[in-house]
Amino acid sequence: MTDNKIPYLLALSPILFLIVLLSFNVIMFDDVLGGANQLALLFSGALAAIIGIYYGSKWKDIMEGIGNSIKSIVPAIIMLLLIGSLAGTWLISGVIPTMIYYGLQVLSPTIFLFATAIITAIVSLATGSSWSTIATIGIALLGIGTAIGLPVGLIGGAIISGAYFGDKMSPLSDTTNMAAALSGVDLFDHIKYMMYTTVPSFIITLILFLGIGFYYTTDISSGQIDEALGIIANKFTITPWLLLVPIAVIIMVIKKIAAIPALFFGTLLGGIFAILFQAEIVVEVSGASVSSISSYYIGVLNAMIGDINFTTINASINDVFNIAIADRSDLLKSGGMYGMLNTLLLMFCAMTFSGAIESTGLLSRMAEPIVKYAQNTGSLIATTACTCIFFNITTSDQYMSIIVPGRMFADTYKEKGLAPENLSRTLEDSGTVTSVLIPWNSCGAAQSAVLGVATLTYLPFCFFNLISPLMTITYGYFGIKIKKIHSA
């Protein structure tokens, strides 16, 4: 890192350059996760490296910083690949079709968004993992919502809102434990103090989804739903036994088994159940004409690795619900591991950019004036919240959006007589929940890939994630539930 003082505007220039390129790409390209955005991140990282070298940074240190940045997302990379393979085996095994089949019978369009947020919140609260929740229950709920004619952005917003509420409030969540530990707060005191802002934010979210649900109660009849159920049942063996697969994964995560081995087990279990319950489909996917051990093996591996799309069934279901050709979606489709590669490339480029601006000292230089801005309780909490969002944008990593601001502001909160619970709550209200709203953040890129919904498509409907930082800032300025040091 350089010892020379970098002019502030120059330190900020890679961020400004990135914003300009990304804005231009949104206008010029349809795919916000496409190669243009990955190149934008690399070009901005190159600009940061050039500035850093000019002010004394060593190329070796920059490369080491980029390497460390990429290493930090290795668990996320493994999880993404496993989620892709899990989606494939759960599709051909009938697990996802079964969840969609039963869900269509229970969830009406009126209450669907409301119920989706509740369901994902409960599962995420139990598991402590928004990623696992979205990759399992979330995929099925997206299929159900799509089948009954709701916009995918709305469905994605409901899934993510519930999943991140549960993640925030769960004592099993890694970000919840991290925010508490960084701030020096007891875990359950931290969760209790978060309830003051988190519960009202979620209640408002549920009211909004319920209101939208009434607005979207439309022209899907029970006869159409029955016809769609028949199409699914004609292709797949539908049985409650298949629900043992997601239940097993959820139980493993609740029992504090790490997400990676739990997802790996879920993938293998999906493959086994595919052979047991959907042997004909496995053979079809393998490309073979007869059942054999080799055809089963090839079929399961094809589902784990590559693209699986039941185009005939998808077209039939779209026709049943009178979905216009321009709006048609593939209800029963999986991209497997290959489907995650574009997202992984985006994450690599994002972390290259992050490593470059951090190792050259540009990131710390950008952060210097931020702490000075906080003069009172309201501005301190608002500054902390904005800093968390800023680090989610610049470092592309939700952990950095908690760790760096947590270290930056810890002493300032003490100096102003504010209990550390205020800091830990603000870190979660702003850092944890906004990571999924940034297309090139590891969380935003991952959930977009898992759901098959562009980040900017679901972003306007992630009400909980949007309301949470506003709620914590409002509490700060109005002095609501602001705990002082040594106060009861």
Taken in order 353, 359, 360, 366, is the CA torsion positive or negative? positive
Maximum Cα–Cα distance across the chain: 74
Token duo for residue 135: 């990759």
Same-domain pairing of 200 and 310: yes
Task: Among 282, 311, 338, identify where a domain stops.
Answer: 338
Same-domain pairing of 276 and 417: no
CB within 8 Å of 421: residues ≥ 6 apart? 183, 185, 189, 190, 193, 483
Q: How many domains does the chain have?
A: 2
Same-domain pairing of 369 and 231: no
Yes or no: say if 92 and 275 are a contact pair by the CB < 8 Å rule.
no
Task: Among 290, 318, 338, identify where a domain stops.
Answer: 338
Compute CA 274 distance to the chain's CA centroid, rounded to the nearest angstrom.
27
Please check whether residue 2 lies inside any domain of the structure: no
Yes or no: say if 169 and 194 are a contact pair by the CB < 8 Å rule.
yes
Please check whether residue 3 lies inside any domain of the structure: no
The predicted model scores a pTM of 0.81
How far apart are the C-alpha atoms of 67 and 365, rounded to whole Å?
21
Same-domain pairing of 15 and 84: no
Phi, psi at 474, each rounded to 5°? -60, -45
Compute CA 478 distance to the chain's CA centroid, rounded to the nearest angstrom.
31
Task: Among 280, 305, 338, identify where a domain stops.
Answer: 338
Q: What residues make up the domain containing 226?
A: 75-338
Same-domain pairing of 379 and 436: yes
Same-domain pairing of 90 and 66: no
Please check whether residue 401 lies inside any domain of the structure: yes
Phi, psi at 170, each rounded to 5°? -90, 130
Same-domain pairing of 328 and 344: no
Tell me the CB-side half-sphere exposure of residue 117, using CA atoms within 13 A. Answer: 25
pLDDT score of 1: 46
Please check whether residue 484 lies inside any domain of the structure: no
SS (H, E, C) the chain: CCCCCCCHHHHHHHHHHHHHHHHHHHHHCCCCCCHHHHHHHHHHHHHHHHHHHHCCCCHHHHHHHHHHHHHCCHHHHHHHHHHHHHHHHHHHCCHHHHHHHHHHHHCCHHHHHHHHHHHHHHHHHHHCCHHHHHHHHHHHHHHHHHHCCCCHHHHHHHHHHHHHHHHHHCCCCHHHHHHHHHHCCCHHHHHHHHHHHHHHHHHHHHHHHHHHHHHCCCCCCHHHHHHHHHHHHHHCCCCHHHHHHHHHHHHHHHCCCCHHHHHHHHHHHHHHHHHHHCHHHHHHHHCCCCCCHHHHHHHHHHHHHCCEECHHHHHHHHHHCCCCHHHCCCCCEECCCHHHHHHHHHHHHHHHHHHHHHHCCHHHHHHHHHHHHCCCHHHHHHHHHHHHHHHHHHHCCHHHHHHHHHHHHHHHHHHCCECHHHHHHHHHHHHHHHHHHCCCCHHHHHHHHHHCCCHHHHHHHCHHHHHHHHHHHHHHHHCCCCCECCCC
Instruction: Please choose, from the candidates 153, 117, 122, 145, the residue with its C-alpha nearest in 3D space to the C-alpha of residue 218.
Output: 145
Please check whether residue 386 lies inside any domain of the structure: yes
pLDDT score of 422: 92
**C-alpha distances out from residue 164 to 123, 206, 318, 433, 463, Å:** 11, 13, 31, 6, 11
Same-domain pairing of 168 and 242: yes
pLDDT score of 333: 79
Same-domain pairing of 295 and 348: no
pLDDT tens-digit profile, the chain (488 residues): 444 688 888 988 988 898 888 778 767 765 555 667 788 889 999 999 999 999 999 999 999 999 988 887 788 788 888 888 988 899 899 888 888 888 878 777 888 999 999 999 988 887 778 888 888 888 888 888 887 778 899 999 999 999 999 989 888 787 888 888 878 888 888 889 999 999 999 999 999 999 998 887 666 666 777 787 888 888 899 999 999 998 898 888 778 787 788 889 999 999 999 999 999 999 988 988 888 999 999 999 999 998 888 877 777 777 766 654 444 456 677 888 988 888 788 778 888 888 898 889 887 787 777 767 767 888 889 999 998 998 888 777 788 788 778 877 887 888 888 899 999 999 999 998 999 999 888 888 889 888 888 898 999 999 999 999 999 999 999 988 888 886 54
Yes or no: say if 308 and 301 are a contact pair by the CB < 8 Å rule.
no
Please check whether residue 308 lies inside any domain of the structure: yes
Phi, psi at 313, each rounded to 5°? -65, -45
Same-domain pairing of 283 and 374: no
Same-domain pairing of 253 and 371: no
Token duo for residue 436: 């999924």
Please check whether residue 325 lies inside any domain of the structure: yes
Compute CA 42 distance to the chain's CA centroid, rounded to the nearest angstrom.
23
Please check whether residue 146 lies inside any domain of the structure: yes
Same-domain pairing of 309 and 349: no
